[in-house]
């Protein structure tokens, strides 16, 4: 049996069935007509966009979001295992009807750039699962972190539906007062692995820019360090003069930009193995140098993310470095989490805020601005989620070294 996820038919899960239909444009309604599910979803997206910023490249514009096209996917979930027969009966859940959820994929345009949003206005959930102001779903062909994240969204939708029915059948006794807490993206950078960032990597005649890719790990670590600006490095680099981002260049510029010097510096410290088709390194190998720069950190391998620790780092404008390997074919990627939307225990305060649940995270994938955005699901080590990520590295920056 095959299962499909939105536009990415190659991404599969084992518990979902979907059928899709596509239309262009929005359906207009009369003044007295209730809004369609599509219109409600568009309203949900626009409301989300008003409260969730992007990086420096996307947050400057305040233009209207235009929906170019949309696709709706209907997921049918079997909730009997999660809820049990008694709960299903109590809530009159018909697996063939009530356990269906329509999820919309909207192709959007804002400030002359095309992006996408994945969301549902189903009143039981009413949630934005992905919001990207610049990028395409086809970015999953080369961005395995994005591919893994999007592949988990249907499972997240199912969990949201389960949570809804549990809340209807179980006594609501909250022991703590909850509060919504949002940290907007803390880094202004949106770097990539190509020219000019790879101007000083080993030469490669088969590439138009003449050099090996800079590597996703050096790019992620360099962006994080340029954001926190340790004093020990500020004497070597004027971080305030670093550009937010350069477009991908076919050839190297005449003058090597300072960002390229910084990227090769970090790449060398990481012991990066450079190659024409890809360059590899481990983010964990920056730890001895973090010690030298008086940057405190906490590192875990192949562990679930400590959401409270993540929030408290982001709250002090320190990006989180995450990485993982695709199981088959074996390939790794490193990226940054730079923003968070969550619900916290209102009795807790910084630097010890306690997260009750995460609504979404802002991911900087290290491919320039492509598909940087807010996502409601994120990679967690799970042996059953073949062929996606494992061997995760989680590197929390506990201080900025200043």
pLDDT in tens, 378-389: 755 555 655 556
Q: Which CATH architecture has domain 185-397?
A: Alpha-Beta Complex (3.90)
d(CA 150, CA 148): 6
Residue pLDDT, tens place only, 231-273: 999 999 999 999 999 999 999 999 999 999 999 999 999 999 9
Query: Within 244-351, where are the H helices?
Result: 258-269, 287-292, 307-315
Token readout for 262 is 């910084």
For the chain, where do the domains classified as CATH 3.90.70.50 start and end?
Answer: 185-397
pLDDT of the residue at 2: 32
d(CA 243, CA 240): 8
- Mean pLDDT, the chain, rounded, equals 86
pLDDT of 23 over the 60 cut: no
| Cα four-point dihedral sign 359, 369, 305, 75 | positive
Which of 217, 75, 237, 86 has the alpha carbon at shortest distance from 159?
75
pTM: 0.87
pLDDT of 322 over the 80 cut: yes
Buried b (16+ CB within 10 A) or exposed e, 250-283: eebeeeebebbebbbbbbebbebebeeeebbbbb
- Least confidently predicted of 27-36, 74-83, 85-94, 291-300: 85-94
Residue pLDDT, tens place only, 121-140: 999 999 999 999 999 999 99
Nearest 5 degrees, angle CA 361-CA 378-CA 313?
45
pLDDT of the residue at 58: 46
pLDDT of the residue at 384: 60
Residue pLDDT, tens place only, 26-63: 444 455 668 899 999 999 999 999 999 987 544 444 57
């Amino acid at each position: 049996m095959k299962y499909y996820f939105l536009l990415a038919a190659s991404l599969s899960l084992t518990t979902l069935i979907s059928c899709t239909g596509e239309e262009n444009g929005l359906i207009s309604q009369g003044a007295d007509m209730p809004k369609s599910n599509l219109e409600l979803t568009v309203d949900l997206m626009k409301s989300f966009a008003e409260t969730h910023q992007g990086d420096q490249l996307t947050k400057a514009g305040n233009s209207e979001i235009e929906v170019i096209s949309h696709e709706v996917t209907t997921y049918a979930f079997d909730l009997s295992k999660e809820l049990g027969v008694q709960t299903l009966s109590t809530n009159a859940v018909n697996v063939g009807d009530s356990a269906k959820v329509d999820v919309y994929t909207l192709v959007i345009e804002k400030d002359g750039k095309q992006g996408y949003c994945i969301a549902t206005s189903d009143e039981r959930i009413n949630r934005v699962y992905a919001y990207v102001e610049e990028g395409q779903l086809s970015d999953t062909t080369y961005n395995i972190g994005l591919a893994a994240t999007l592949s988990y969204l249907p499972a997240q939708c199912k969990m949201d539906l389960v949570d809804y029915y549990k809340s209807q059948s179980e006594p609501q006794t909250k022991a703590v007062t909850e509060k919504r807490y949002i940290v907007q993206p803390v880094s202004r950078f949106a770097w990539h692995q190509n020219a000019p960032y790879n101007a000083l990597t080993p030469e490669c005649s088969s590439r138009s820019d003449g050099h090996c890719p800079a590597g996703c790990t050096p790019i992620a670590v360099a962006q994080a360090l340029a954001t926190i600006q340790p004093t020990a490095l500020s004497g070597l680099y004027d971080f305030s003069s670093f550009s937010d981002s350069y477009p991908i260049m076919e050839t190297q510029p005449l003058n090597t930009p300072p960002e390229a010097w910084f990227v090769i510096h970090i790449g060398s410290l990481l012991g990066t193995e450079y190659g024409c088709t890809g360059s590899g390194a481990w983010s964990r190998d920056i730890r001895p140098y973090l010690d030298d720069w008086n940057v405190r950190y906490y590192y875990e391998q192949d562990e679930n993310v400590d959401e409270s620790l993540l929030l408290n780092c982001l709250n002090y404008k320190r990006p989180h470095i995450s990485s993982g390997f695709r199981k088959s074919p074996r390939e790794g990627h490193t990226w940054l989490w730079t923003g968070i939307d969550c619900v916290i225990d209102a009795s807790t305060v910084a630097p010890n805020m306690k997260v009750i649940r995460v609504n979404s995270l802002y991911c900087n994938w290290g491919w320039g601005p492509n598909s940087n955005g807010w996502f409601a699901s994120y990679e967690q080590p799970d042996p059953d989620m073949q062929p996606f990520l494992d061997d995760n590295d989680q590197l929390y920056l506990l201080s900025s070294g200043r």
